[in-house]
Amino acid sequence: MELFDPALLAYCESTSTAEDALLKKIVRETQAKVLMPRMLSGHLQGKMLEFFSKMLQPKTILEIGTYTGYSGICMARGLRPDGKLITLDINDELEPMVRGFFEESGLAPRIDYKLGNARDIIPTLAGPFDLVFIDADKFYYSEYFDLVIDKVSSGGIILADNVLWSGKILVEEGQKIDKDTQALLDFNRKVQDDPRVENVLLPIRDGVLMARKL
The pLDDT score that the predictor gives to residue 186 is 98
The answer to whether the beta carbons of residues 160 and 136 sit under 8 Å apart is no
Q: Is the pLDDT of residue 1 over 60?
A: no
Q: What is the pTM of this model?
A: 0.96
Q: Is the pLDDT of residue 41 over 80?
A: yes
Q: Is the pLDDT of residue 96 over 70?
A: yes
Rg of the chain over all Cα atoms, to the nearest angstrom: 17
Closest CA to 212 of 73, 106, 89, 55: 55
List 159's β-bridge partners, or say none: 133, 210
Q: Report the distance separating Cα 122 and Cα 151, nearest Å.
A: 10
Residue type, position 167, single letter: G
The pLDDT score that the predictor gives to residue 4 is 80
Q: What is the mean pLDDT of residues 50-77?
A: 98
**Number of C-beta neighbours around residue 152 at 10 A:** 23
The pLDDT score that the predictor gives to residue 54 is 98
Q: Is the pLDDT of residue 2 over 80?
A: no
- At residue 208, φ and ψ (nearest 5 deg) are -125, 120
Q: Report the distance separating Cα 69 and Cα 98, nearest Å.
A: 6
Q: Work out whether strand 84-89 and strand 111-115 pair parallel, antiparallel, or are unpaired.
A: parallel
Instruction: Give the SS3 label for residue 163.
Output: coil
The pLDDT score that the predictor gives to residue 172 is 84
Q: Is the pLDDT of residue 126 over 70?
A: yes
194: which residues sit within 8 A by CB, 6+ positions away?
149, 211
180: which residues sit within 8 A by CB, 6+ positions away?
138, 139, 165
Q: Is the pLDDT of residue 178 over 90?
A: yes
Q: Is the pLDDT of residue 202 over 80?
A: yes
Q: Is the pLDDT of residue 19 over 60?
A: yes
6-213: CATH topology is: Rossmann fold (3.40.50)
Sign of the Cα torsion 86, 189, 57, 128 reads: negative
The pLDDT score that the predictor gives to residue 36 is 87
Residue type, position 150, single letter: D
